[in-house]
Amino acid sequence: MTFNLIPLEKFEKLDIPRLDVLDVRPREQFESFHIPTAINIPIDDVEDGKFELDPTKSY
């Protein structure tokens, strides 16, 4: 699995409704604020294999 980090300035220019945004922060942080279209899967769950990402998508 590969993650690509981008600067906030580039992120703000993206077409958010068309993105599969994966927010890997803890649920408490996600619930306090998040991008409306984001999916929350805490990084520990991803690393522990508790959730499988669709390999055909870019997140």
51 neighbors 34 (Cβ within 8 angstroms) = no
pLDDT tens digits for 5-44?
Answer: 788 888 888 776 677 888 989 999 999 999 888 899 998 8
Q: Is the pTM of this model over 0.95?
A: no
pLDDT at residue 3 is higher than 80: no
Among 14, 27, 9, residue whose Cα is nearest residue 59 = 14
Look at residue 16 in the predicted model and tell me its pLDDT: 67
- Spatial contact of 23 and 39, defined as CB atoms under 8 Å apart: yes
In one-letter notation, the amino acid at residue 53 is L
Q: What is the pLDDT of residue 12?
A: 80
Long-range contacts (CB closer than 8 Å, 24 or more residues apart) made by 46-51? 46/1
2 pLDDT exceeds 80?
no
